[in-house]
A and B are shown apart, each in its own frame.
Chain A
Amino acid sequence: MRSFFKYLFTFSLVLCLFLWLATIISNQIYQLSLPKNSEISVLVLGDSHAQSGINIDSKVNNSLNLAASAESFYFCHQKLQYFIAKKVKVESVILAVGPHSLSKSLDSKWLFDELNFIEKMRSYWPLINFSSIGEYITNAHFSRSVYFELIPELLYQNFYTIERFVLLGKSPFIGGYTESENNNKIKLVPEVSDSINKKLTLEGAAISELQLFYLNKIVQLCNENSVKLILLNTPLFNGTKLENLQNVKGDYEVFDYGDLFKNDTRLFADFVHLNGNGAELFSDTLVNKLTIK
């Protein structure tokens, strides 16, 4: 029995070393995909609205879009915190805040869905401050078993990252401009747009306390580190403007382009996301505004 446990212990040790090695390699691949420069002029964060609507990486020097679909403000906060902790000088942050962002109607999918949380954690783990996970898990009322579910997923991600990098030469995806996949799949009708909007916006649901909590954390982090923060509402098909930001405390600017391309079917992939042409046009508008400022 003793020699069996000795055998098992030695093998477990070798296994842990092996997995640790994979983690180091994977982490290095992540580091390779992040900008090397010590300065970021514009950092774009937020959900799919910014991901498919803002393509300024080639238009503004040292700019970086790290927005990703179904991204809660918790992960936006983590991404920003990562750069600040790494002593990267971030001049300004554009954070996509649509009428839906603070709505409780999306909480179940964006914040309280354990699978979505694990998926995001898996993709971003080298950027995450692990001490923040406990707070989030408590706030989102997740069971503690989520930790045990996370471990194999993080191990999975290491091998995934290595395989993608070795076989396909691809870096891990931690956000970035992507043209909307919904292009031309949905018939854009203003009436339908209004009803969808009603469901998603504050008219249809109460404020999400957790989203507001992390949004305020982003504002606080920017203010403490002298980073200029712009809360941006990207164009929406029905032209809904941003409201109810009175609970967001601190210094920030608001760029509200909700009605910029109202009812223009040529520029939208669906009711809430710009298509490639719309993104190009909107990015130019945004760059102009940033330059003038």
Chain B
Amino acid sequence: MGLLMASTMLDYFYGFWVASPERKKAKFFLWLSIINNLGILAIFKYYNFFAVQFQQGFESIEIQTNPLFLEVALPVGISFYTFHGMSYVFDIYRGSQKPIKSLIDYAVFVSFFPLLVAGPIERANHLLPQVQKRRIFNLAQAVIGCRLILWGIFKKIVIADNCAYFANEIFNNYEIYNGSAMFLGVLFFTIQIYGDFSGYSDIALGAAKLFGFDLLINFRFPYFSRDLGEFWKRWHISLSSWFRDYLYIPLGGSKEGKYKAIRNTFIIFLVSGFWHGASWNFIVWGFAHACGFLPLLLLNRSKQNTTDSIAQNSIFPSLRELFGLISTFLFVMFCWVFFRAPDLVISIDILSRIFSSSLFQLPNLKFDNTEVLQLFHLVISAVFLIFFEWMSRKTNSSVAFFNLIKLKWLRWLIYLLLIVFVIYFKGTPVEFIYFAF
């Protein structure tokens, strides 16, 4: 709490200093703000990681060191509110935002409860005007808010928590499972992380709507992407657009030649990976995505699928689109191994198990009756999820399918069904994955 207050106060004052007409002074305070925010992250989130690297580096040349390790819990939401603060100061420096006079309004922007712990990462020029203006209750918005909350709860409690049960079992005992079982384990995690994080975002967006706020959309059906470029336009949008606007473009983006475009792409993917956690796994995860993105960049196809959605004018995708969807999904899925496994050695071991002849054997998973029932419920729920999200794919809202249902009683029946799913198909409670970041 103290850290959040201190960070809020500092960025609030930096806002005034950075707004100075003297560019030299403004630049100085901009850098001070960056050092300040990244310093907080470096100490509380990354310090121990660097200390370990320092120790291991010296050990490799046979010099024993005894660095100081911090024994502090990672402050909740640190990665999110520091980025809120930085975006505010950046926007003022660039002239797209004026420093705000009310400290309370600014504090609401930084610590608005739905987005404090796991995003979406808001922009000052998007949320602050909403904080400052008088909000009037809007029935249509409140109804959408309730739908988003219900849909988000369904995604988290039914889809993510059930998938977590199987994914945890398989990842925690990966030594005993064959390639096909591990493949299923990774598939479970792939669905888990989507249900978990997009579920949280839906709940946050829904809760904010009840208070009259429109937050940035964080997910737009990312697993329906036809290539990796499209995937990153649809997955954790608030983070990827943050890095695009405040890192990629200031570094030159793709406008200064191929070499710089490749360099900048690798930088944002590596930084994005490292943002998730102080571990080599996240860095490798980012690197793998950068490598996957590279062919699209070299062939100038990184934006080919960003203006429309899959099966834009039909119900089913074309064969070409289907191939793109499956290959993108598999690539993203295998990259999640680095995200989920505890370290790099295990990640590589898991991948080598998957890419072995045992991938074509039957999975050596053994389920008792309760687990079979749980799996049955998960499959029903997943079909429900995929069907309704497919129906909404052309829109920006994960609950747009409700608008397609004109009959009120049918909409209510679906609400009831979702509530029954939440009561009856609920998985063992697992904490939101992104709370750890």
Contact = CB atoms under 8 A, between A and B. Distances in A.
A25 B142 CA distance: 34
B143 interface: yes
Interface string A142-154: 0000000000100
A152 B423 contact: yes
A4 B142 CA distance: 8
B361 to A, nearest CB: 29
Contacts of A4: 137, 139, 142-143
A3 interface: yes
B416 A14 contact: yes
B81 to A, nearest CB: 31
B419 interface: yes
Summarize A's interface: helix, strand, loop or mixed.
helix
Contacts of B426: 156
A159 interface: yes
A213 interface: no
Q: Interface residues of A toward B: which range?
A: 10 to 19
A34 to B, nearest CB: 23
Contact of B137 (A1, A14, A156): A1
A3 B416 CA distance: 20
B424 A160 contact: yes
A251 B419 CA distance: 51
Interface in A2-18: 3-4, 7-8, 11, 14-15, 18
Nearest to B420: A159
B153 to A, nearest CB: 13
Interface in A248-273: none
Contacts of B423: 152, 155-156, 159
B139 A3 contact: yes
Interface string B397-426: 000000000000000100110011001101
A152 B157 CA distance: 13
Given A11-B412, A14-B412, A15-B416, A156 B143 contact: no
Contacts of A3: 139
A152 B419 CA distance: 11
A1 B426 CA distance: 31
A11 B415 contact: yes
A4 B137 CA distance: 10
Contacts of A14: 412, 416
A250 B426 CA distance: 46
Contacts of B137: 1, 4
B139 A159 contact: no
A152 B139 CA distance: 29
A18 B415 CA distance: 12
20 contacts: A1-B139, A4-B139, A4-B143, A7-B139, A7-B143, A11-B415, A14-B412, A14-B416, A15-B416, A15-B419, A18-B416, A152-B423, A155-B424, A156-B423, A156-B424, A159-B420, A159-B423, A159-B424, A160-B424, A163-B424
Given A1-B137, A1-B139, A4-B143, 7 more contacts: A4-B137, A7-B143, A15-B416, A156-B423, A156-B424, A159-B424, A160-B424
Interface of B: 137, 139, 142-143, 146, 412, 415-416, 419-420, 423-424, 426
